[in-house]
């Protein structure tokens, strides 16, 4: 398996899945930039591997993306950042009828608009080189309507799938392939904001018999950026242990 290009940008790179993807791409010989609002979780990885660099950026802010990431355009872009607020400041479940426009907009800015803006940062480099790989991390929530997630998260992930398909058609003539991954229930800090028993209650419904781990997603991202996937674009790969097997 060979992976083209020299550089990789991973948004949400200092979260559970992002760190594992960064490690694998660095092991594959790529220069990796992990972009996140909180870069502390990636500091140890960056210290241990000189191919990895952490860049602090508020991915919910269009101006911060434009000002911070302009010099970090990469041959491979993994749009991985995502937030899934489930409770308000008082600890109440966020419901559609209680959700504020600010809550809605923050999720959309982070989970959708950042994908668009970070893609724009990298496209000129990719188009100039006639090579690029973009992997957008969506969610099986877009397929089933969510498990514990609120409506803004599920809606944002459905938007990511539409973005992937449209961008793939537009960019294929330039040698740029665009695909998505729909993770199932993955054991990361983001999924630990509900009681552990709620996640474990899902296990009997998963034919593989376990929750996913970050490496399950990172391995597929690596594959999609390799020569083994040179004829794949505009698709979403379901990585969920059989939890969702629909079309």
Q: Which residues are catalytic?
A: 153
What does the block give as tokens for 177?
């392939």
- How far is it, in rounded angstroms, from Cα 49 to Cα 34? 12
Strands (E), 113-210: 132-137, 176-183
- How far is it, in rounded angstroms, from Cα 178 to Cα 176? 7
Query: Do residues 148 and 190 touch, judged by C-beta distance below 8 A?
Result: no
Handedness of CA 106, 112, 118, 121 (dihedral sign): negative
Handedness of CA 205, 215, 14, 22 (dihedral sign): negative
- How far is it, in rounded angstroms, from Cα 21 to Cα 9? 10
Handedness of CA 184, 187, 193, 199 (dihedral sign): positive
- H or E element that contains 58: none
Task: From 20, 22, 1, 2, select the one nearest 10 (Cα to Cα).
Answer: 22
């Amino acid at each position: 398996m060979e992976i083209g290009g020299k550089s990789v940008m991973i948004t949400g790179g200092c979260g559970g899945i992002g760190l594992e993807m960064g490690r694998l791409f660095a092991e594959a010989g790529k220069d990796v930039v992990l972009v996140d609002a909180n870069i502390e979780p990636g500091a140890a990885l960056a210290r241990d591997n000189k191919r990895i660099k952490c860049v602090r950026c508020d991915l919910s802010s269009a101006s911060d993306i434009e000002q911070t990431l302009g010099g970090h355009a990469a041959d491979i872009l993994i749009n991985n950042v995502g937030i899934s607020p489930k409770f308000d400041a008082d600890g109440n479940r966020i419901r559609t009828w209680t959700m504020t426009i600010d809550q809605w907009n923050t999720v959309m800015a982070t989970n959708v608009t950042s994908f668009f803006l970070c893609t724009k940062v990298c496209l000129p480099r990719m188009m100039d080189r006639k090579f690029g790989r973009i992997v957008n991390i969506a969610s099986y929530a877009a397929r089933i309507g969510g498990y514990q997630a609120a409506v803004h998260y599920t809606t944002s992930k459905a938007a990511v799938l539409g973005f992937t398909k449209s961008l793939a058609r537009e960019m294929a003539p330039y040698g740029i392939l665009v695909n998505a991954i729909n993770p199932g229930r993955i054991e990361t800090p983001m999924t630990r904001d509900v009681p552990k028993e709620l996640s474990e209650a899902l296990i009997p419904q998963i034919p593989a018999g376990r929750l996913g781990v970050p490496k399950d997603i990172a391995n597929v991202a690596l594959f999609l950026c390799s020569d083994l996937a040179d004829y794949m674009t505009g698709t979403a790969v379901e990585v969920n242990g059989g939890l969702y097997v629909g079309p």
